[in-house]
Copies of this chain bind each other. A is one copy, B any other.
Amino acid sequence: MRPSGRTAQQIRPVSITRNYTRHAEGSVLIEFGDTKVLCNASVQEGVPRFLKGKGQGWVTAEYGMLPRATHTRSDREAARGKQGGRTMEIQRLIARSLRAMVDLGALGENTITVDCDVIQADGGTRTASITGACVALVDAISYMRKKGLVKVNPLKGMVAAISVGIYKGEAVADLDYPEDSAAETDMNVVMTDTGKIIEIQGTAEAEPFSFEEMNSMVELAKHAIRELNDIQKEALIA
């Protein structure tokens, strides 16, 4: 029934390439099918002004879409002179999700910024970003530990994210663009590798949804995220 021929619970092939670029302390290209996001984690000394002198660190994220990552070219935000609402919403979501992974006190007065830049979009760019950014962040923290920039391990755990939705009346996992643009409901779920929820954001695109529908979407998300956790861990071992 799904345009891609996938089963309801089937996610797209996921590929994680570490050390994708040379300069970043953590650099991951993540692919959810045709969605490709480059996640670069940068370690910088110091913290934003509102944290100065508090003896803790900070983790933040920025998100961008290359102008022709999409079917039709969208304006370059740098040229337009501001980031749109969608961009800000997504980068705030990524940042909150990543902060849930880290003991900011153990990080010391350092900042890790994860840039998620979408090279090619086919639905699910925010969930791919979070899943890839997690791996880049793990690599950046490893780098800090090797360099002695942190004394105790600030890593509390890992996160991954998936989109689920109601498409033609049925709950499906990991919507691609054709599904996403036709879905009645779209939900993004971010979870830890211990099976707890970090963020859940469900939006009725066309029709309000019932609690039963919510529950079946959540169920799919749980399984998909467990799969993503495994893929992340394999990538980190490799």
B92 touches A89 (CB 8 A): yes
Chain A 10-52 per-residue mask, 1 if CB under 8 angstroms from chain B, else 0: 0000000000011110010000001010101010100000000
A71 touches B38 (CB 8 A): no
Interface of A, helix, strand, loop or mixed by DSSP: mixed
A67 touches B38 (CB 8 A): no
Contact partners of A192 in chain B: CB under 8 A: 208
Complex: A100 Cα to B92 Cα, angstroms: 24
Contact partners of A92 in chain B: CB under 8 A: 85-86, 89
Q: Quick check: which of A73-81, A127-135, A230-238 contacts chain B, the rest being far away?
A: A73-81
Judge if A194 is at the interface, Cβ distance under 8 Å.
yes
Q: A34-B22, A194-B208 are in contact. Are A68 and B88 (CB under 8 A)?
A: no
A35 to chain B, nearest CB (A): 10
Tell me which of A67, A187, A196, A204 has the highest count of chain B C-beta atoms within 10 A of its own C-beta.
Answer: A204
Chain A 109-150 per-residue mask, 1 if CB under 8 angstroms from chain B, else 0: 000010101011010000000000000000000000000000
Judge if A106 is at the interface, Cβ distance under 8 Å.
no
Judge if A153 is at the interface, Cβ distance under 8 Å.
no
Q: A77-B78, A89-B89 are in contact. Are A204 and B198 (CB under 8 A)?
A: yes
Complex: A192 Cα to B127 Cα, angstroms: 27
A→B interface (CB under 8 Å): 21-24, 27, 34, 36, 38, 40, 42, 44, 62, 64, 66-73, 76-79, 81-83, 85-89, 91-92, 96, 100, 113, 115, 117, 119-120, 122, 187, 191-192, 194, 196-204, 207-211, 214, 218, 222
